[in-house]
Structure 1
Amino acid sequence: MNFTQQVRGIVKAIAVVLALALPLMLAISSADARIGGGLSSGSRGGRTFSAPPSTSTAPGSAQPFNRTITQPGSPGMGAPAATGGGFFNRPGMGMLGGLAAGFLGAGLLGMLFGGGMFSGLGGLSSIFGLILQIGLIIIVVRLAMSWWQRRHATAPAYAGVAPGAGAQSNFRTGTGFGLGSGSAPLEILPADYEAFERLLGEIQAAWSNEDVARLHTLATPEMVSYFTKDLAENKARNDINKVSNVKLLQGDLAEAWREGDTDYASVAMRFSLIDKTIERTSGRLVAGSEQPVEATEVWTFVRPRGANWELSAIQQT
């Protein structure tokens, strides 16, 4: 009996820590209002359902797409590949993830107020409730540890460097692009890296100015459709997302390939920016701040052979 009480005490202590951390996590998530809304959107041609290779900039797996017009099994589409992002981020797990998160939250609140997930049922049900609560907490801890390990994983900075990549010597200073792990059948030149960095800033600026016409010149129609929908939702809430001081901190190529007459390049980019959402009429700050924040995303660019690069996908890491 004493052992059970001790276990309950430990579980309650952990629950207090998690309960205090959850509001902060939700606040951080709500402030993630930059272009793309923290979602993975777009298409990567025949590799839409294959995760881009990890790089030194983004050592973990890119999340699968939440929004894409590409259908599995469509002509030219390879078989879906395993992707990262955790159990609750897998395709089709949104509802289950939400239920599980709510279930965990209910259990934590119950423990904080002296009960358990099955408080009031007593006896055997109480024991099962305790076991389930411990199991859920173990899952949360394992996910956190897995994220921490991926965050601090290292990768060779110049693994698989293609001929001519020596021009990207500023990669070591964290201010430019270098070739990441994995072979690149399509050669990416310094001018291409400059275009990717320029598009990062220009797309963020067009989003901040709600300039849909400009976005049409920088991104594919699919991506512009998502941006337009997100902008409309901001307007419906009487909000406007302002992004400024976008600065590339580090980037490298995950993979580049050619499909027919179309070129693709997926690039991991870590960048800083000031991301804030204000009330459209009053200018009151709704989310974010004037302090720069960092983000790491995988952007995929596409171009018909000989044309300019356009953004075709953004994936969270």
Structure 2
Amino acid sequence: MKREDIKHWIPIVIIALLIFVSYLIIKDYIVALVASAILAFLVMPVYKWLNKKMPSWLAASICIAVVILIIVIPVIMTVLLVMLELSTYLSSDLILQIIRKISSIDLINWAGFNLTTIRNEVATIIVNYLGDLTARIPHLIISLLILIIAMFYLLRDWDSIIKRMKKYIPSENKEKVSKDIAQITRSVVYGSLLIALIQFVISLVGFWLLGFQYSLIFATLIAIFAFLPALGPIIIWVPAAIISFIQGEYFVAIGVVILGLILTLYTDTILRAKLSVKGTQVHPVTMIVGIVGGIILFGILGFVIGPLILSYTLTLLEDLIDN
């Protein structure tokens, strides 16, 4: 190799090493950083409205306080309570009855599914997760501090950050690509995340008023499937109504059906159409693959991060092919 070639490669190797070391430094807090960006985007309209009436630091601080109280703390508490409720649910007589009935189906036996083993493995994972929680508290506190600090500066310097990032878009159509990315983000954050939160609150309150058992688990499942427009809450509330009917709780079953119709016809159809950006619906396949892969890679926030990253990648590839 010529000396000129070596000189050419040295800066590239140094930059690659710096990027790799930087990744090692932030890898444990990538989820917190991405979450701060998503939450900042979510409350940006509120921040801009407040910023007209007060200093930017105060507007950002108020937005962060609201996000922590209304979103972050409830989400953390919900995850913990769902884990506890799920561990109880898996050992309940109802789930054991369901497993016995399903296991008696010839097709299930032929396929080699052992539902009892699956139930035991899921229960073990939950117990281990709850057991490791104490050891994770310092990491959770640091992640929360990083989220707060990152969110503060993202809110305050959002316009300048976006302007700087546009320089790195590898395209002649920078404005079009950045506009497409912004619309995709709005579609996922407002059209899916916000719908999921609304459906979670409505279903949780509804299940609780009806006296439905394990309301938190089913409300959480409804929120999860809200990210999949092709399926939606119907895939959860129908089994919930059937379970109530089998148990002889006919009033609860009818109430669950009414609640499910409200969720399906209003929040999942009318409200989603109002909140979504016209012409920028993320394809259901992209959503499904993004959610599954995102959960594996990023954990619970993968529901949002996965579809966003996949959609951004497809947008950039489409622009690259067009050019």
Q: Same fold, TM exceeding 0.5?
A: no
Is the helix fraction higher in 1 or 2?
A: 2
Relative contact order: is structure 1 or structure 2 higher (C-alpha 8 Å, sep ≥ 6)? 1
TM-score, normalization: structure 2? 0.24
Is the strand fraction higher in 1 or 2?
A: 1
